[in-house]
Amino acid sequence: MSTPAIARELMVASQLRDRGISDPRVLEAMLRVPRHEFVPEPYRAQAYEDHPLPIGDNQTISQPYIVAVMLEALQLRPSDKVLEVGTGSGYVTALLAELAAEVFSIERHPALARKARDLLAGLGYSNVHVFAGDGTLGLPAAAPFDAIMVAAAAPDLPPALIAQLDDQGRMIIPIGTDDSQQLQLVRMVGGQPIITPRELVRFVPLISNRDE
């Protein structure tokens, strides 16, 4: 086995399985996706460690455990159409592409969007579409979505994202201020969002174009 593959085995066993992540599809996807490819060269040796890492433009690739918690909460099916807000490195985009049928991902930094698009294409992911833009508006042209994953913290639930969830659709999103955030799991049932508070987290802020 290659060194990264061994590091991935260890990451999945000690950071995920031992901490209670049990969905076999999530664990398998995290064994498959080469996280080191999404980490810039100076940090590559730390790619499988238990923390976020810088990816440029003041942004970070999320901690593996938090990614797994969010993916598990979404209960993705192989037929699902998914929206990701905050492509960043493209790491989570690749995981979503392993778990669902089609992934639409939006990133507000054009340079990060371009890099992630090229990397994902190079790794052979043909079921992903990466766009540069404001993810708080969602992607009305591709809606509704079975699942939405938001990788940056919003002060409140963005109404456009709720509106683009299909019936029985799920969204996982960090809500709160810079230093106090909590993941919220939203499930659409008969046109109403049912909200379940989950783990406390720390994400970079979701910046809407209206804030600038």
Catalytic residue numbers, as ranges = 62
Report the nearest approach of ligand SAH to the CB of residue 114 (Å): 12
**What is the token pair recorded at 212?**
């600038």
Which tokens is 46 given? 């730390």
CA distance 120 to 78: 19
3-class secondary-structure state, position 83: strand
Nearest approach, Cβ of residue 190 and ligand SAH (Å): 29
Q: Is-contact 97 103, C-beta < 8 A?
A: yes
Distance CA 24, CA 30 (A): 10
- The residue sitting closest to ligand SAH, measured at its beta carbon, is 88
Phi, psi of 178 (to 5 degrees): -55, -40
In angstroms, what is the minimal distance from the CB of 102 to ligand SAH? 18
> Which CB atom, from 85 or from 175, has the smaller least distance to ligand SAH?
85
Which alpha helices (DSSP H) does 49-187 contain, by range? 64-74, 91-99, 110-122, 159-163
Instruction: Give the 3-state secondary structure of residue 172.
Output: strand
Side-chain half-sphere CA neighbours of 54 within 13 A: 6
Interface ranges with ligand SAH (CB under 6 A): 55, 59-62, 85-86, 88-89, 91-92, 106-109, 112, 134-136, 151-152, 204, 206-208
Handedness of CA 57, 100, 185, 31 (dihedral sign): negative
Beta carbon nearer to ligand SAH, 162 or 168: 162
Of 119 and 186, which CB lies nearer to ligand SAH in the complex structure?
Answer: 119
Looking at the Cβ atoms of 172 and 192, the one nearer to ligand SAH is: 172
CB of 88 to ligand SAH, least distance (A): 2
Residue 82 or residue 112: which is nearer to ligand SAH going by CB?
112
* Residues 96/84, Cβ–Cβ less than 8 Å: yes
Shortest CB 57 distance to ligand SAH, Å: 6
Contact 5, 34 (CB under 8 A): no
